[in-house]
Amino acid sequence: ANFSEQVVESFPSDISTGIYYGWACVGNGDVHKMVLSIGWNPFYKNIKKSVEMHIIHTFKDDFYGEILSIVILGYIRSEKNFSSLEALISAIQDDIEEAKRQLDLPEHLKLKDNDFFHLPEGETVNH
């Protein structure tokens, strides 16, 4: 899932680029593990950041237009360039495995059930 420019601009300006892990919820659905990439976007000549999220779950339908609720819990690695597509794919797979390991830790697992993911209809929080 790619976040809109408006959402990206609302992220704290001092957040480091790189790969993060945490929890994500689509609409009022279940909460799933996720990895998140925050990086400079070459399409915008690297003057704008982009934020892309990969939810570690297979959805049966697209979720365009849904509210995405996320909690970022940790940092995996810095943003970097890759010499080949294979190297990029390998790094992404390693990031996903690291996110799974971290999110299985008791201190992270307990946040999966946080009330943040079950706000009343129409209520949002932007922290």
Query: In the structure encoding, which two tokens stand for residue 19, read together?
Result: 């790969």
Distance CA 105, CA 92 (A): 21
Q: What is the 3-state secondary structure (H, E, C) of 84-96?
A: CHHHHHHHHHHHH
Cβ–Cβ contacts within 10 Å for residue 95, how many? 20
DSSP reduced 3-state for 26? strand
Task: Show which residues are catalytic.
Answer: 52
